[in-house]
Structure 1
Amino acid sequence: MSETLPTVLDIEASGFGRGSYPIEVGIARPDGTTCAFLIQPLDEWTHWDPKAELLHGISRERLHREGFPVRQVARWLNDELSEEGKAYSDSWGYDNTWLSLLFHHAGMLPGFRLEALRILLSEDQQALWSDTKEAVIAERGIHRHRAGEDARLLQLTYQRTQQLCQ
């Protein structure tokens, strides 16, 4: 298949709302490969929602043990995404806020824009989205709420809805 897939970015976080921060960022590249990094929380990042941990399954202790420094993750994102110049997210409001927080604390500017995935979707694709996404999860046995796998899920759902609407 020769179509180019959009680059999709997904972020898992310590919770939602005030005080939450990014704990994992993942991307699905146009060729379908994925990559994700856990993020070491900064000392001032103290908010932790046990309900969020139940969803993503990542403990704060694991972040301290296996996570990468904020600046290193920001540098990696710029290295990955600067050439293309943009990535897409299905939760733009949250993901853009967490991305801004990451880059602010890294003392860097993002070399790319994050845009809402829905701007790529036709009305027909939007109508099929939810059912198609559930079908892809079931077929592929995707583990939800991990950044790399969620980014790939969104990319595959985009591709399938595009095929169904042709």
Structure 2
Amino acid sequence: MISVPVVIDFEASGFGRGSYPIEVGFSHRHGEGWCTLIRPEDDWEHWDERAVGAHRIQREMLIARGRAVNQVADQLNQLLGGQTVYTDGWAHDYVWLARLFDAAQRSPQFRLADLREIISPRQEAVWHATKIQVEDDLNLTRHRASNDARILQLTWLRTYDASKILH
């Protein structure tokens, strides 16, 4: 029986030193999504306008509508505790997860792992084309963390099926 991976994604204030998480979302085993904006801490000042161009989230919106880091960390632990959660951007997402949990003075109760750990060579061979097809099929108009997680999860599922057929 196939075990569908839980996939998480972070959006951030940029990619440089000092960047911080502004949104986190995941797609759970049955495809149900969860997403929230993160209110910046007072010392989280880095802001890259190119990031705004990608996710269309203004800093003012984060301050007004974002949830406090301790609330976000507690919710993630409640929903993901004890699980391994996968990301395609492990190097960046690990830093943003750590920044979130450090600010909240909490520890993650789940393991963050690189999606590549569970992608076979056969899956990798068809990954890019399949991901493009998933994006087209979903026709999502907003670049959000939970949408990105769902795209990755569905790409994994479709390539997993394809890898079984290609024997």
Provide the TM-score with structure 1 as the length reference.
0.96
Q: How many residues align?
A: 164
**1:151 aligned partner:** 149
**1:28 aligned partner:** 27
* Aligned equivalents of 1:146, 1:140: Cα separation in 2: 13
**1:61 aligned partner:** 60
The DSSP-based 3-state class of the residue aligned with 2:39 is coil
Does structure 2 conserve the Cα–Cα contact (< 8 Å) formed by 1:142 and 1:153? no
Measured after TM superposition, the shift of residue 105 of structure 1 is: 0.5
**1:6 aligned partner:** 5
Measured after TM superposition, the shift of residue 17 of structure 1 is: 1.8
**1:74 aligned partner:** 73
* Aligned equivalents of 1:72, 1:134: Cα separation in 2: 34
Q: In the alignment, residue 36 of structure 2 is paired with which amino acid?
A: F
* Structure 1 residues without counterparts, runs of 5 or longer: none
Partner residue of 1:132 out of 115, 130, 137? 130
- Which string of whole-angstrom CA distances, capped at 9 and with x for unpartnered residues, describes residues 30-58 of structure 1? 01100101000011001000001100011
Q: In the alignment, residue 40 of structure 2 is paired with which amino acid?
A: P
Tell me the C-alpha RMSD between the 2 structures: 1.1
Q: In the alignment, residue 41 of structure 1 is paired with which amino acid?
A: P
Q: Identical aligned pairs, as a percentage?
A: 46
* Aligned equivalents of 2:6, 2:69: Cα separation in 1: 21
